[in-house]
């Protein structure tokens, strides 16, 4: 973590805010909707609710505060490191009422421990960790609702999505050079262990798309038989495509009227026009690579992605966010995030959030696949929550960057690393591309 200090009042508001979002994502679900099928990409909603409360108790009350468990069965029910994924469907989980009461009890006790002034560094760290953990589960809860075709969550605060502007075509040409990849030890905010620490890498000159790939662009790939041409796919990707019988992006279906290039898309429980200028979403790394092969392009490495987001012409210092070092706070003009509006904005929206190189929406809207496997930086050392990163450092996991429309703003900065297996396409992920050669 970095040297940032945290006031007790700020920590309390973060913790309350994360909990409000969690409850808003679940409070309209019926008992029947809480009984979800066993799928490898989901958690049972009741388990997930209990887990975020358990995690908060585990680190703030038990680890930091030295208190005994509130429930004798808490670890057996909710410890994600010890309870296998499929086992979570066979547990004697609490009722919804009992789960919510447990969440309330944990939060009340945590808030009672917070002093009015500056928190001790360890307490501040675990307040931050519990908040970010709950934020990430909130995003997972959101795509669970998408996976199951439930109604959109009642979290929007800004109405309709932002309107697009003129088409945003072309590449930003970036000269490369020595670059410090990752978070610096002097970073004035808390950072996850997999961002630690910045180290020098050499990046060759490259050209990266100013915007992510759109539905319209991807529909052209589908229409040209992209899913039926093995020469466009890696061996692993083609094996996945055949096994999944994939013919188009997840949640696309033929448009009965024949409009919108022949496709429509499902957003939660509604079928909508495809939206040619929206970013393609719910595609995995294999699909992204196949599109790149078809288009004569490639995925960026995570180092290239971070340089495009954080670098600036003629400067060695990195920006914390694409637009600079000024905190985004509540500025709605910078990015499509926070779930303020449900769904993606056109790729040309939010010019105020451009990077110094002119790349748009490098934070928010859709997560972006990179070509890089999720591996530790040099001299990696796990944080107190050792299972956050360390078990997932495998070539099968790919790095994603940038966040999506449902990601909480306080999670994101240019060095933040997400990771998923390359075959996952239920998450809110798209991609942008790089040229094979400089113009």
Domain-located, residue 3: no
User: In this structure, are 133 and 161 located in the same domain?
Assistant: no
**H helix or E strand, kind and range, residue 173:** strand 171-174
User: In this structure, are 226 and 367 located in the same domain?
Assistant: yes
Contact 221, 180 (CB under 8 A): no
Ordered DSSP codes for 191-236: --GGGB--EEEEE--EEEESSPPBHHHHHHHHHTTGGG-GGGS-HH
What pLDDT score was predicted for residue 332? 86
Domain end marker among 128, 148, 168: 148
Q: Residue 118 belongs to a domain with what CATH number?
A: 1.20.120
Integer Cα distance of 230 and 341 in angstroms: 38
User: In this structure, are 165 and 216 located in the same domain?
Assistant: yes
Domain-located, residue 1: no
User: In this structure, are 103 and 183 located in the same domain?
Assistant: no
What pLDDT score was predicted for residue 164? 85
User: In this structure, are 87 and 234 located in the same domain?
Assistant: no
User: In this structure, are 286 and 366 located in the same domain?
Assistant: yes
User: In this structure, are 78 and 221 located in the same domain?
Assistant: no
User: In this structure, are 29 and 178 located in the same domain?
Assistant: no
Domain end marker among 148, 180, 213: 148
CA distances from 184 to 188, 249, 318 (A): 9, 38, 10
Q: Residue 367 belongs to a domain with what CATH number?
A: 3.90.1580.10
What pLDDT score was predicted for residue 4? 67
Residue with tokens 């029910």: 77
Both tokens of 149, joined, read 């075709």
Domain end marker among 132, 148, 164: 148
Domain-located, residue 165: yes
Domains identified in the chain, total number: 2
The boundaries of the domain holding residue 363 are 156-439
User: In this structure, are 166 and 106 located in the same domain?
Assistant: no
What pLDDT score was predicted for residue 158? 63
What pLDDT score was predicted for residue 224? 97
pLDDT averages per 10-residue partition of the chain, 439 residues: 75 97 94 94 96 98 97 98 97 96 98 95 96 98 96 79 85 97 89 97 98 97 98 98 98 77 92 96 98 98 98 93 86 90 94 97 98 98 97 97 96 97 98 95
User: In this structure, are 97 and 160 located in the same domain?
Assistant: no
User: In this structure, are 78 and 119 located in the same domain?
Assistant: yes
What pLDDT score was predicted for residue 337? 94
């Amino acid at each position: 973590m970095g040297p940032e200090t945290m006031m007790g009042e700020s920590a309390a508001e973060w913790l309350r805010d994360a909990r409000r979002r969690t409850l808003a994502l679940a409070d309209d679900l019926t008992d029947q909707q809480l009984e979800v099928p066993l799928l490898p990409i989901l958690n049972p909603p009741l388990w997930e609710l209990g887990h975020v409360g358990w995690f908060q108790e585990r680190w703030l009350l038990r680890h930091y505060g030295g208190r005994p468990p509130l429930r004798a069965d808490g670890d057996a029910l909710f410890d994600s490191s010890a309870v296998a994924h499929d086992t979570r469907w066979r547990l004697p989980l609490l009722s919804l009422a009992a789960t919510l009461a447990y969440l309330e009890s944990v939060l009340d006790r945590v808030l009672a421990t917070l002093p009015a002034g500056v928190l001790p560094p360890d307490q501040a760290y675990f307040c931050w960790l519990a908040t970010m953990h709950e934020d990430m589960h909130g995003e997972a809860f959101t795509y669970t609702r998408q996976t199951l075709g439930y109604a959109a969550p009642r979290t929007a605060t800004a109405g309709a999505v932002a309107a697009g502007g003129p088409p945003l075509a072309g590449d930003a040409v970036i000269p490369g050079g020595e670059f410090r990849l990752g978070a610096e030890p002097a970073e004035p905010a808390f950072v996850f262990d997999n961002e630690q620490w910045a180290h020098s890498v050499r990046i060759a000159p490259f050209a990266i798309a100013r915007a992510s790939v759109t539905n319209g662009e991807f529909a052209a790939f589908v229409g040209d038989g992209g899913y039926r041409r093995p020469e466009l796919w890696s061996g692993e990707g083609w094996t996945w495509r055949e096994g999944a019988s994939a013919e188009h992006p997840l949640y696309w279906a033929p448009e009965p009227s024949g409009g919108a290039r022949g496709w429509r898309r499902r957003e939660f429980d509604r079928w909508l026009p495809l939206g040619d200028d929206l970013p393609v979403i719910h595609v995995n790394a294999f699909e992204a690579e196949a599109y790149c092969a078809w288009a004569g392009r490639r995925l960026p490495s995570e180092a290239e992605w971070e340089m495009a987001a954080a670098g600036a012409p003629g400067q060695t210092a990195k920006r914390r966010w694409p637009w600079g070092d000024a905190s985004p706070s509540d500025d709605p003009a910078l990015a499509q995030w926070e779930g303020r509006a449900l769904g993606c904005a056109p790729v040309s929206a939010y010019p105020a959030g451009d990077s110094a190189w002119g790349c748009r929406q490098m934070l928010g809207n859709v997560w972006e696949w990179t070509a890089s496997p999720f591996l530790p930086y040099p001299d990696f050392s796990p944080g107190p929550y050792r299972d956050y990163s360390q078990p997932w450092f495998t070539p099968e996991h790919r790095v994603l960057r940038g966040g999506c429309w449902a990601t909480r703003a306080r999670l994101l900065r240019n060095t933040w690393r997400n990771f998923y297996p390359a075959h996952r396409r239920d998450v809110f992920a798209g991609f942008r591309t790089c040229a094979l050669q400089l113009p």
